[in-house]
Amino acid sequence: MKQISHKIASLLMAFVVLFSTLSFTVDMHFCGETLVDTALFQEAKTCGMGMQNPSTTEGCTMSKKNCCNDKQLVIEGQNELQLSFDSLSFEQQQFIVSFVYTYNTFFESLDRNRFSFKAYKPPRVIRQLFKLDETYLI
């Protein structure tokens, strides 16, 4: 059981390290107020209603406001993971060493068969003792 819990804990820690260092980009395309498409690691597909260059007719320019909007959410991961032991102060190093030493020596292994109550059979109940001490109001 202890080995299984260690494997599960190490797997969870590996996922924490993986996801803390992962950087990714989320692209979103809005048409008006409606979200049309989202995409990870690439550009979002447009709805096809993008505005062309403003048209010029007889010297006057007309421009319309584009109804589409693109947003980009960039999530940066952690770049530096390695914490060197030299950057800790002497008191911190001393605390870590003493903590690890006492943690390892504190727990002793116990024999599994030392406290076996499998062969114990409880005594038979002759009378119910809680009913002897009860009082009833009539």
Q: Which residues contact 28 (CB under 8 A, 6 or more apart)?
A: 35, 37, 38, 44, 70, 71, 72, 73
Higher pLDDT, 110 or 29: 29
pLDDT bin (cut points 50, 70, 90) of residue 94 is very high
- The whole-angstrom separation of Cα 135 and Cα 137 is 7
pLDDT tens profile 20-76: 888 888 899 888 888 888 888 778 788 777 555 444 445 555 556 678 888 888 888
pLDDT of residue 120: 80
- pTM for the full predicted model: 0.39
pLDDT bin (cut points 50, 70, 90) of residue 103 is confident
Reported as type and span, the H/E element at residue 37 is strand 34-40
Sketch the domain layout of the chain as residue ranges.
2-49+60-81
pLDDT bin (cut points 50, 70, 90) of residue 111 is low
pLDDT of residue 57: 47
pLDDT of residue 134: 78
pLDDT of residue 56: 46
Quote the mean pLDDT of the chain: 77
Amino acid at 88: L
Reply yes or no on whether the pLDDT at 88 is more than 60.
yes
pLDDT of residue 12: 93
